[in-house]
A and B are shown apart, each in its own frame.
Chain A
Amino acid sequence: MGDWILIEGRGITKTFPGVRALDGVDLELRAGETHILLGENGAGKSTLMKILSGAYPPDAGEVFIDGQRVEHFDPRVAQRMGVGIIYQEFNLIPYMNVAQNIFLGRFPTRYGLLDHQKMHADAAALLGSLNMNVDTQALVVDLSPAQQQMVEIAKALSIHSKILIMDEPTSSLSERETEQLFATIHQLNAKGIGIIYISHRLQEIHEVGDRVSVLRDGQLIGRRAIDEVTVDDLVGMMVGRSVKDMFERDYQPRGAECLRVEKLSSGNRLHDVSLTLHAGEIVGLAGLVGSGRTDLARAIYGVDRYDRGEIYLFGEAISGLQAPDMVERGVSLLPEDRKNQGLALILPVAENIVVSSLDRLFPRMVVSRKKEQAVALRYVERLRIATPSTSRLAQYLSGGNQQKVVLAKWMCTHAKVFIFDEPTRGIDVGAKAEIHALMNELVREGAAVLMISSELPEIIGMSDRIYVMRAGRIVAEIPHGDATQERIIEYAMGADEVRKKTGQAAPSRSEP
């Protein structure tokens, strides 16, 4: 095995409208190795994986498999050349049994009828060779996530894959199941199969990987042997950039408590979450995708039910209230998916702005067009929403202006507590600064803002205090003076725990 290179990408570049997702990235996978692909959310890992499996064509760059340049790469060609991919979301058929799932699309037949015997025998042999203990007759819907993943692996190997790409394979697994998966991975490596393992869990890397490539902002920052890097090196490589002075905040003494969450728990998504939010402050909620930030926001807002815990709004216990009650009490949510959840795209700007304030504006239940337009115009001017008129349909506005319309909708309800979920994702730099200025203005006027963001500079630049979430828990509360990207990312990824385990020294912290 050794140095034989199974798949190689050279100078891979991919641009999406407005974003350069990958910029001249090189990646190689040797036979029998597990190569970790590490990076923050949005660093370009998934895009790279999709290119290597033929799902996206690259704009520039070449893919080589077994030393041969691949032309006309698509998922079918990739399959034929031995690239198997296991997406984070499994692609199994729930009410079909294990054997049929493994051979879906390539069923063995005799006289046009399914050869059940051969199918089960082949599936059992395949699973057995991987020491996987799964009944081939069981329905997939009855399997645990770990067993489903085994079926996915067996399915990938049934097409004789030499190259396996796994996208965050442990995200739905328990600790024991994770160990089981790692054992399988080592076994596959021993057979010469190369694995590209995408992860942002620092804890796993040293257990499963041979080499690691770090991506940041679409660029390859470095490729190292696992034994030669420490967790701190990797965090440094992933974060890199420094926070420039692009955020203007007027910090002021905080006012009365607006919102208090006490020991909120919900299923396996939230565990004993407690936080406070005061008038006049922006509180940042940092953490990886899937760490429970959005779940927390939805629980507070009354969209999702929770099992235990208490939420106080302006000192009053409000458990069990639903979103409409929350709006009435001055709480607002600017959802992450603003196109589908924040706006009615096919309605005019004016109607979007007043939609949540109709009861307040028109207590006699008769909507006056004139008043609607006048109110909307006031907000369009105040928020400087770039639209030719208030009757323009929301779908024709840019992302930044759409977000301003969502914000105007909530300001129109005279909301006091704003929950922003990724307020500036996908918004260009100029509009971003304007949204930030508006947030600053809101808190200066006595509102309170809870801001979920995956952009660390935004979190650090805008927040009075920062809560960091990991796996459904709040693992740290950091005042803005002490916040650095390294510190947040360490908490978010659990580097503190890795260090506890491996006994590495704590890093020296410096303001970037």
Chain B
Amino acid sequence: MTNPKPSSLLIRVPSAAWVIVLMMTIFTAINPRYLTPDNLVNIVLQNAVLLILALGATLVILSEGIDLSAGSVLTLSGVTCVSVMKHLMESGGSNALAMAAGVAVGLLTGALMGATTGGLIAIGNMPPFIASLGMMGVGSALSLVLANSTAIYISNPLFSFLGEKLDQSIDLPWMQYLSMPTFIAIAVFSVIWVTLYHTPFGRYVIAIGGNESGARLSGVNTVVWKWMVYLVAGVLASISGITLAARLEAADSIVGVGWEFDAIAATILGGTSFAKGKGGTGGTVLGVLVIGVARNGLNVIGVPSLWQPALTGTIIILAIVFETVLSRWKEGRRWVWHD
């Protein structure tokens, strides 16, 4: 006997989707060029990397944690990946071998950083904010040192393929609408979705976020699973870092500054809440799109670039206000546990 759910369209469709539709309408009204297939494909391509990062943030926030180091892990993984690749290519290694080794090292970097952050939090009992803030500093400093405070350029066609639209390498119709980053993001999304909803690990993440002591009393090994959350988030950050490096054909030593906040904002916009393990991955996709649609639209309608962050920030705040109002209204109609 499920409780009768309110069934109006306004409630069934997530609020972030309304925000996206509203923004797209406004942008199209101002500049009809906004609503072209090319531009829409661009939005998706530009935000694939953020989605991968935001999925990590979603896992962490579902477990009632926070990871401020995501942006710096993204940067560092790109730097280690490209450095190793370049080194191998310069010493005569084949493109394929160099790329495999570089990607492996990049992923390992993310795993190590995540495992360290997670260890501090899960085993060392440190507040996630502090532990990940510290690791954020470590990550950015390492990136600057390894890349000598600049960008390392790489020219490896195999690697670049990871960041391209497919029409650059495959001569078939429609290929200009498909891109590798999008495929990677879809693959990562699928894996995380299955993990969250169809494996014990995913359920433990939600249990820990919902009621950690309750989970422990039910026999869940909260230390191990909490640690694992940050490890997975680290690996996801490194996947986004590697993909971004492939797209830019370079690893920049400050490219990821501030990305952790975009990832967190996207997660919250998507309806995942800091309390009680509420939310999920689907919403995060919408949250990423809110940010992506806003940025792209402001560009297309010609807002001066210095003003764009202010407007993006305002849009995020308004979207959250809208979400809060809508969810209060929803809650008011159904049985609430207790306040």
Contact = CB atoms under 8 A, between A and B. Distances in A.
Given A95-B206, A104-B207, A104-B220, A114 B277 contact: no
Contacts of B219: 76, 79, 104-106
A107 B194 contact: no
A96 B198 contact: no
A92 B221 CA distance: 16
A113 B277 contact: no
Interface in A118-143: 133-135, 137-138, 140-143
A100 B203 CA distance: 8
A17 interface: no
B198 A114 contact: yes
Contacts of B197: 114
Contacts of B218: 91, 104-105, 155
B295 interface: no
Nearest to A93: B210
Contacts of B220: 104-105
A94 B215 contact: no
Contact of B335 (A92, A95, A142, A155): A142
B198 A113 contact: yes
Given A96-B206, A104-B203, A114-B203, A91 B214 contact: yes
Contact of A114 (B200, B206, B214, B276): B200
A93 B213 contact: no
Contacts of A135: 1-2
A94 B199 contact: no
B36 interface: no
A94 B277 contact: yes
Interface in A437-468: none
Contacts of B207: 93, 96, 104
Contacts of A90: 214
Interface in B180-229: 194, 197-200, 203, 206-207, 210-211, 213-215, 217-220
B191 to A, nearest CB: 12
B215 A105 contact: yes
A109 interface: yes
Nearest to A113: B198
A76 B217 CA distance: 9
A75 interface: yes
B215 A95 contact: no
Nearest to A147: B1
Contacts of B198: 113-114, 116
Given A104-B218, A141-B337, A92 B200 contact: no
A112 interface: yes
B334 interface: yes
A106 B200 CA distance: 9
B103 to A, nearest CB: 25
Interface string B246-288: 0000000000000000000000000000001111000000000
A95 B206 CA distance: 8
B310 to A, nearest CB: 35
A138 B3 contact: yes
Given A93-B214, A94-B211, A96-B206, A138 B200 contact: no
Nearest to B334: A142
Contacts of B215: 93, 104-105
Contacts of A141: 276, 336-337
B200 A109 contact: yes
Contact of B1 (A91, A105, A133): A133
Contacts of A114: 197-200, 203
Interface residues of A, number: 31
Contacts of B2: 135, 137-138, 142
B18 to A, nearest CB: 22
Interface in A83-104: 90-96, 100, 104
Nearest to A267: B339
Interface string A394-436: 0000000000000000000000000000000000000000000
A502 interface: no
Nearest to A55: B217
Contact of A94 (B1, B3, B213, B276): B276
A96 B276 CA distance: 10
Contact of B214 (A75, A92, A143): A92
A174 interface: no
A109 B198 CA distance: 9
A107 B200 CA distance: 7
A75 B197 CA distance: 29
A15 interface: no
A92 to B, nearest CB: 6
Contacts of B203: 96, 100, 104, 107, 114
A174 to B, nearest CB: 13
A144 interface: yes
B332 to A, nearest CB: 14
B215 to A, nearest CB: 7
Contacts of A116: 198
B4 to A, nearest CB: 10
Interface string B28-53: 00000000000000000000000000
Contacts of A133: 1
A271 to B, nearest CB: 18
A427 B219 CA distance: 37
A95 B3 contact: no
Nearest to B217: A91
Contacts of A96: 203, 206-207, 210, 277
Contact of B199 (A76, A91, A112, A155): A112
Contacts of B278: 94-95
A137 to B, nearest CB: 7
A134 B2 CA distance: 8
A422 B207 CA distance: 36
A113 B219 CA distance: 19
18 contacts: A75-B217, A90-B214, A91-B213, A94-B211, A95-B276, A96-B206, A96-B207, A104-B203, A104-B207, A105-B218, A109-B200, A116-B198, A133-B1, A135-B1, A138-B1, A138-B2, A141-B336, A155-B218
Given A96-B210, A109-B200, 8 more contacts: A91-B214, A92-B214, A93-B206, A95-B277, A96-B203, A107-B200, A109-B199, A116-B198
In the complex, the 10 A-B pairs of residues with the closest C-beta atoms, listed nearest first: A91-B214, A105-B219, A93-B210, A105-B218, A104-B218, A95-B278, A107-B200, A113-B198, A93-B207, A105-B220
